[in-house]
Amino acid sequence: MAPLTETLREGLSLWGARAESLDEGVDEAFDERRRRKLVAHGASVAAFALAGAVLFWPVDWVVLDAVARRAFSQWRVVVALLAALYLGLARWSIAPRVMTALLVASLFASTAVAGDAMARAGDPGTPFLHLLYLPLFATITLPFTLGVRAAITIGVALSAAVGYWGLHPAYRGHPAGALWWSVMLSVASLVVWLGHTLFLLARENFAHQRRLSTWNHELELHVAERTAELRALLAHIEGVREDERTRIARELHDELGQELTGLAFVARHTSERFERDPGAIRANLGEIESGLQRTTALVRELVSDLRPRMLDDLGLVAAVEWLARRTEERAGVRCGVRADELGELPSSTRTVAFRVVQESLTNVLKHARATAVTIELRRESRALVLSVADDGVGFDPQRASVTRRGGAGLLGMRERVQSIGGTLSVLRGDSQGTVVRCSLPR
C-alpha cells in the first residue's frame, strides 16, 4: 500500500507540472496553439449558448408565468444575438485577441442581463436567483491560463451580482443573499479548478504528442538510414558475388582448363606411343600423374577459397589457423592464433566467426600496413568471443561507420554477426592499430 503522501503527490503532480518538467519549448508551443484554438473553443461555447437560448424557449411557456417569461425572453434574445454575432465574426480571420475580448465581454453582458432577468422573474426567495451559477460554467472548456481564468470567472460572478443585486437595490439585505454569495464563491472555485485541470491535461497531452512525433521522426530517419545501408550492402554483395564468379571462371579456365588440356594431350600422345613402343610410356605416365596431382591441388585450393572443408571437418580453430598460415605465406605478416578449447559450436557461429576473421585479415592486408596480427578465440559461458588485433596504422571506426563509402566489408560483417544474435565492435588498438571484436552465441 502506497503511503498517503505519495498518493497525494501523484494526484497533485499534474498541478505541479511546471515548464521545466516538460520538454524544452513545449510551453511556448502549447501557448501558441491554445491561442489559435481559443477562437474555435469560443465558437463552440457560442453555438451551445445559441442553441440553449433558442431551443428551450418554448419550455418557458410551460414552466413560467407571464412575468418570468417576459424577463427570460429578453435574456434569451440578448444571448442569441451576442452568440450569433460571435459566430458570424468567427468566420473572418479577425485577431484571436479581439475575438476573445468579444467573447468575454459577451459573457459578462449576457450574465448581467441574466441577473436582471432573474431578478424580474422573482424575488430572492424564488429559485430563479440560483440559476445565476450556470453562466460560470461557460469558461470551463476555454483554454485560459490560471490567472486569466480566475479573473474571468470572478468577472462573471460580479456581472451576475451587478444584474441582480446592483440593478435591484430593493433585494439587498434579503436573507437569501448570504447563501447566494457563498454558493457562488464555491461554484466559482470549483469551475476554476475544473477548468484549470482540463487545461493542464490538455497541455500534458500536447507534450506527449509532441514527444511521440519527435520519436517518430527520429525513428523514420533511423529506418531510412538503415534501409540505405542495407541497400548499399545488397548492391555490394551482388557485386562481390559477380566478381567471385568471374574469378572462379577465370581460374577454372586458365589454370584447370590448361592443365586438363595438357593432360589430354599427354594421354593421347601416350596411347599413340603405346602402339609403337609400349615400354617407353613410363615417363608419360609419370607426367600424367604429376599433372593429376597439380590439378587436384588446384581444385583443393579453389574449393578452400570458397569454403574450407576443414571448417566443417576439423572445426573453427583449425580453419582459423589455416587462414593465419596462408596470410603469413602470402603477405609476410606475422599471424598468431590464441584459442581456447571451443567444444561444439553451432554451424552458423562457426561460419560467421570464420568470415569475420577472413574479412578482418583481408582488411589488415589491404589497409593496415601491419607487421603482426593476433587472433584470439575465447570461450565464455554463453558466447564465443573473437578478436583480431593488428599493429597497423589504425583508423577512426566512428568516421568509417558514418561515411560508409566502400565500407561494405565492416557493414557486412556487422550484419552477419547481428543476424545470428551476436555483436561486433571495431576499436582502436591500445597503442596503435585496430581491433575487431565480436561476440557470438554458442
Ligand X SMILES: Nc1ncnc2c1ncn2[C@@H]1O[C@H](COP(=O)(O)OP(=O)(O)O)[C@@H](O)[C@H]1O
Contact 357, 386 (CB under 8 A): yes
395 binds ligand X per the rule CB under 6 A: yes
438 binds ligand X per the rule CB under 6 A: no
363 binds ligand X per the rule CB under 6 A: yes
Please state, as a whole number, how many other Cβ atoms lie within 10 Å of the Cβ of residue 293.
10
Residue sitting closest to Mg ion (CB): 409
The CA distance from 415 to 11, in Å, is 48
**Minimum gap (Å) between residue 362 Cβ and ligand X:** 7
Nearer to ligand X, 194 or 427 (CB): 427
* Residue 125 CA, distance from chain mean position: 63
**How many Cα atoms sit within 13 Å of 295 on the Cβ side?**
17
Residue sitting closest to ligand X (CB): 409
Nearer to Mg ion, 79 or 368 (CB): 368
The CA distance from 263 to 289, in Å, is 9
390 binds ligand X per the rule CB under 6 A: yes
Nearer to ligand X, 229 or 255 (CB): 229
Nine cell digits for residue 47 = 453555438
* Residue 271 CA, distance from chain mean position: 76
One of 69, 130, 326, 367 touching ligand X (CB under 6 A): 367
Residues 399-428, interacting with ligand X (CB under 6 A): 400, 406-410
Nearer to ligand X, 124 or 407 (CB): 407
**Minimum gap (Å) between residue 336 Cβ and Mg ion:** 21
Binding-residue pattern over the window 322 to 341 for ligand X, x denoting contact by CB under 6 A: --------------------
Give kind and range of the element (H or E) at residue 186: helix 176-251
What does DSSP say about strands 434-441 and 372-379: parallel, antiparallel, or unpaired? unpaired
364 binds ligand X per the rule CB under 6 A: yes
The CA distance from 79 to 82, in Å, is 5
Residue 68 interacts, among Mg ion, ligand X, none and using kind-specific CB cut-offs from 5 to 8 Å, with none
Contact 378, 317 (CB under 8 A): no
366 binds ligand X per the rule CB under 6 A: yes
The CA distance from 331 to 5, in Å, is 73
368 binds ligand X per the rule CB under 6 A: yes
392 binds ligand X per the rule CB under 6 A: yes
Nine cell digits for residue 48 = 451551445
Interface with ligand X (CB under 6 A): 363-364, 366-368, 390, 392-395, 400, 406-410, 434
